[in-house]
């Protein structure tokens, strides 16, 4: 009886350790499952554009700041030449594209609304080329999009996203309202002609910000050509580095033709990258994907160790009871 009591007392801490191991492994596996589910929700959320059958091209255009006419001619040639590639359906360009992590923003003003210096209103903004929304697969909700002429000439117009409408116009129709980048003096610079659906531009976890889409090469006049507003305007036009191509051909197949087309337009323009837009979207989930995979691996290892420990302790306890 004394021997049996000693065996039982010695077995209790071993059994408790195995129980703790099993519990910890199941906690890790549960965490891995929750992380995987969160990752799935992030990847399957509504992004506001269609990355499938889209190719993202990053170029490094020549320094043409302040040379608006040369910029217009350059991007018109790029768009025309790229559109001639077999399988290509749409080609456009922008200052930056969805899910690239870029964001240009600043204070804005809306005609007919008094400014509050203590609480200035801000919004993100982007410069886009002709048929940009068609190229990235973003739906028009109200009004119209920018036409080819307005990208450079014509009345100064803009398109806003639905988050902009909700924030600044609530239940009213923003079509026809005038906005501008900067203080109250700039409130009448652009007329809103359309509203598009919200698009994730910065990060998948962040809420969509109010956003204004300006024609790529439309300009406003500044009294001081060296002012901050004039400088930002010139710089934003010169940094048009993103090309979006909609095609029924894979990016890997398109890449040689894209590089040849750009070289034919201007051999001094380096093509920095050509990749499927789905790959660009996927890079935004690297951290979450790594955490889910590591937690799953650690949970499985802990479960295996707990199973081995449970088997070892049980076998040892049975061996101790053999004499009885």
Collapse the DSSP code of 224 into the 3-class scheme (helix H, G, I; strand E, B; otherwise coil) and give the result: coil
CB 194 within 8 Å of CB 142: yes
Confidence of residue 95 (pLDDT cuts 50, 70, 90): very high
Contact in structure between 139 and 153 (CB atoms under 8 Å): no
Radius of gyration of the chain (CA): 29
pTM: 0.78
97 near 136, Cβ under 8 Å? yes
Q: Does residue 175 carry a pLDDT above 90?
A: yes
The tens digit of pLDDT for each residue in 110-154 reads 988 877 766 778 999 999 999 999 999 999 999 999 887 767 677
Question: Tokens 């002429």 sit at which residue?
Answer: 149
In this prediction, residue 65 has a pLDDT band, given cuts at 50, 70 and 90, of: low
Residue for token digits 């109250």? 184
- For residue 250, give the 3-state DSSP assignment: coil
> Can you tell me the mean pLDDT for 40-58?
82
3-state secondary structure of 212: strand
Beta pairing class for 211-215 and 178-181? unpaired
Highest mean pLDDT: which range of 169-173, 257-261, 279-283: 257-261
155 vs 4, more confident: 155
Q: Are 295 and 32 in contact (CB under 8 A)?
A: yes
CA distance 37 to 288: 11
pLDDT of 1 over the 50 cut: no
> For 96, which DSSP code?
S
Question: Which 8-state DSSP code applies to residue 243?
Answer: E
CA distance 202 to 209: 9
């Amino acid at each position: 009886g004394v021997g049996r009591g000693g065996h039982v007392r010695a077995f209790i801490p071993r059994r408790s350790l195995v129980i703790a191991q099993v519990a910890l492994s199941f906690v890790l596996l549960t965490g891995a499952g929750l992380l995987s589910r969160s990752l799935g929700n992030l990847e399957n959320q509504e992004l506001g554009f269609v990355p499938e059958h889209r190719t993202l091209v990053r170029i490094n255009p020549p320094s043409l700041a302040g040379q608006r006419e040369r910029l217009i001619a350059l991007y018109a040639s790029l768009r025309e030449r790229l559109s001639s590639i077999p399988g290509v359906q749409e080609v456009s360009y922008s200052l930056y594209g969805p899910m690239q992590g870029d964001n240009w923003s600043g204070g804005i003003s809306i005609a007919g609304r008094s400014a509050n210096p203590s609480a200035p209103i801000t919004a993100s903004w982007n410069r886009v080329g002709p048929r940009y929304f068609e190229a990235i697969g973003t739906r028009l909700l109200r009004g119209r999009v920018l036409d080819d002429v307005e990208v450079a000439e014509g009345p100064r117009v803009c398109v806003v996203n639905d988050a902009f409408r909700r924030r600044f116009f609530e239940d009213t129709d923003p079509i026809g309202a005038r906005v501008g980048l900067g203080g109250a003096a700039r409130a009448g610079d652009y007329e809103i002609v359309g509203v598009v659906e919200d698009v994730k531009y910065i990060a998948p976890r962040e809420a969509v910000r109010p956003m204004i889409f300006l024609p790529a090469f439309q300009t406003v006049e500044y009294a001081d050509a060296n002012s901050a507003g004039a400088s930002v305007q010139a710089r934003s036009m010169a940094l048009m580095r993103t090309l979006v191509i909609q095609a029924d051909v894979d990016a890997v197949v398109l890449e040689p033709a894209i590089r040849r087309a750009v070289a034919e337009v201007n051999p001094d323009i380096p093509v920095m990258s050509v990749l499927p837009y789905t790959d660009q979207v996927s890079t935004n989930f690297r951290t979450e994907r790594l955490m889910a995979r590591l937690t799953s691996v650690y949970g499985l290892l802990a479960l295996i160790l707990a199973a081995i420990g449970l088997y070892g302790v049980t076998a040892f306890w049975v061996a101790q009871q053999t004499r009885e």
